Chains A and B, each alone.
Chain A
Amino acid sequence: MLTLQCPYCGVMAEETELSAGGEAHLKRFGPGSSDADFETYMFMRENPKGVHFERWRHANGCGKWFHAARCTVTLEVFGTYTAQTSVPPAELLETIRAARPGFKWREFE
C-alpha cells in the first residue's frame, strides 16, 4: 500500500487515508484565454512512466492539500511538500536527478 508523509501534520499516511488530486502545478486558464490554452489546462495531462508530481489531500487526517513526487512504475516516493508553491522545491529536484538520470517532467529536468 502506498504511504505518503503529510508535510503538515507529519503523519505517515496510508493510501486509504488520502485522496488523490491529480497532476500538480497546473497553470490555470479561465474566461478570456484561448481555446488551446483552456483545452490544455482542462484536459491534457502529463502521464509519465516514471517520476510524476501530483496533488494529494490528507482527507481522513488533518485535511490539508499537499504535493508528492512519486514514481508511477515502482511507487517509490521521492518526497512530499506543501501546497503553497507553484514549482517543486530545488532540493527535491536534485534528489530525483541523482536517482533518475535523464528525468524529465514538463519543463523540469
Chain B
Amino acid sequence: MKRYSVFAVAREAQRYHSGWERAWRSPEPKKSYDVIIVGAGGHGLATAYYLGKNFGITNVAIIEKGWLGGGNTGRNTTIIRSNYLQDPSAAIYEKARDLYETLSQDLNYNVMFSPRGVIMLAQTHHEVRGYQRTAHANALQGVKTEFIGPEKVKEIVPIINIDGPRYPVLGGLLQKRGGTARHDAVAWGYARACSDMGMDIIQKCEVTGVRRVAGRVVGVETTKGSIDCNKLGIVVAGHSGVLADMAGFRLPIESAALQALVSEPIKPCMDVVVMANTVHGYMSQSDKGEMVIGGGTDSFNNYTQRGSFHHIEETVRALVETFPMISRLKMLRQWGGIVDMTGDRSPIISKTPLENCFINCGWGTGGFKAIPGSGWAMAELMAKGYSPLANEFSVDRFKEGRFIDESVAAGVAH
C-alpha cells in the first residue's frame, strides 16, 4: 500500500494524479478463512482491523451483502461522544472516542475527526438533575464532561433560543472532546488498512446460510458459493435477527427505521453538535454547510430504510422552536436506516449458543460513535474468548437481570 502523505500529493500533482492506486482490493472469496466477519460496515471492518493489528490474525474475510459502509455507517449523523451514565457504556464509548482521536494517523486515512464539542440540552428540570448526575458519574469514570448553565449554552451556540415557550434551555451537558467524523471515511480507512494486511473484503456477496456441525459453525453459504471458517463474527446491525435466524438462535432484538435529514448548505453558523433529547432532535453543521438533523425511531418493527414521515415533522417542529433561524431552510435529503434495538437499549457484544460464533449488534440509534471501541472489544473477544470491555455486554445479561439501562440515562438520542 502506498502511504498517503503531503509528498504523495505533491508527487501526484505533477503527473495528473495518475498514480493513485485503489484503496482496497476486490478479490474473489477463497475456499476457507480463519475468521469470517459478516458485514463490512464500520463495526465489522473495525473488528477485522483490530483482529489483525492487535492479535496478528489476518486470514480474514469480511463479507458484505451490499457495498462497503452502505448501511448504517453511511446513514448516521456522525456524532461522537462518550457521556454515558453507566460504567460499562462509558468505558467502551470513551475507548472508542479516545481511538478516534488518533484514528487518522493509525489508518493513514483522514477520517476528519472534529472534536468540536457536543452539548446535550437540558430542557426540563428532570433533565437538569439527570445531566448533573451524569456529569458526576463521568467525573468518576474519567470522562471529561461538565454541566453548564443556559448563558454558557447561548455563548457557545449563538443561534439557540434559550427561552422558548415550551422547552426553555435550562442548561446542558458539555463534552468538549466529543464531535463528529466523516462516516464514510471511517469505513474506507478501516477497509484500506484491512486490505493492506491481506484480508479479503468481498462485496455484493450475501450470506444465505450458516453451516453448523455439532454446535459449531463450519462455514457460510453465500451468493458467491460456500466458504469455510474457523470462527464467525456476525456484525450486521439491523439485520442481526435475520443472521441469527440462519445460525439457529434468537436475539432480544427488534429492528426499526431511524431517520435523518440534511438541509441545503448555508454559511457556518454552529460549530458544535447540539442534542435536544426531550424533543427528539439533534443537529450539527457539516463541513459542506448542510445542517445535519437526526430524528426519531419508528415505533413498530420494519426494514423499510425510509421511516414514517410524521417523525420528521415532530423533529423539525421541535428544532425550529429551539433554533428559530432554521425555519426557512429547505431540506435536501431525508433517509432512514434500520436500527436493532435491545430491551435495555445497550449493545450486545457476545458469545452465542454456537461455540465459535460471536455477535456484535444492538447498537440501536447510536453505533457510529462506538465503532473503534466496538471493533477493539469484538476482536479481543473473538481472539481470546474474553474481553473486559465487552464482558458486561454479553447477551446473558437479559437472563441474569444485569441490564445496562441507558434508555433512562440517555433518552432516545443515543
Contact = CB atoms under 8 A, between A and B. Distances in A.
A21 B378 CA distance: 33
Contacts of A15: 308, 310
Given A2-B300, A49-B303, A42 B343 contact: yes
Contacts of B242: 47, 49
Contacts of A43: 252, 343, 398
Contact of B252 (A22, A44, A52, A72): A44
Interface string A7-33: 000000001100110110000000000
Contacts, number: 61
A90 interface: no
Contacts of B251: 44-45, 47
B398 to A, nearest CB: 4
A99 interface: no
B301 A54 contact: yes
A35 B251 CA distance: 16
B308 A1 contact: yes
Interface in B305-361: 308-310, 340, 343
A39 interface: yes
B83 interface: no
Of A19, A47, A54, the most chain B CB neighbours within 10 A belong to A47
B182 to A, nearest CB: 30
A52 B340 CA distance: 16
A49 B398 CA distance: 23
A1 B298 CA distance: 11
A39 B399 contact: yes
B310 A73 contact: no
A98 interface: no
B310 A47 contact: no
A1 B300 contact: no
Interface size class of B (residues with CB under 8 A): 20 to 34
B399 A35 contact: yes
Contact of A20 (B241, B300, B340, B399): B300
A20 B63 CA distance: 35
B399 A72 contact: no
Contacts of B340: 47
B239 A49 contact: yes
Given A20-B300, A52-B301, A36 B399 contact: yes
B310 A72 contact: no
Contact of B301 (A16, A19, A47, A74): A47
Nearest to B343: A43
A42 B398 contact: yes
B308 A2 contact: yes
A1 B310 contact: yes
A52 B252 CA distance: 16
B302 A20 contact: no
B195 interface: no
Interface string B112-123: 000000000000
A1 B309 contact: yes
A45 B253 contact: yes
A75 interface: yes
A75 B250 CA distance: 23
Contact of B303 (A1, A16, A20, A73): A73
Given A42-B343, A45-B251, A49-B239, 10 more contacts: A1-B310, A15-B308, A15-B310, A47-B241, A48-B301, A49-B241, A52-B301, A54-B300, A54-B301, A73-B303
30 contacts: A1-B309, A1-B310, A2-B308, A15-B308, A15-B310, A16-B310, A35-B399, A36-B399, A40-B250, A42-B343, A42-B398, A43-B343, A44-B250, A44-B251, A44-B252, A45-B250, A45-B251, A45-B252, A45-B254, A47-B241, A47-B242, A47-B254, A47-B255, A47-B301, A47-B340, A49-B239, A49-B242, A49-B255, A72-B302, A73-B304
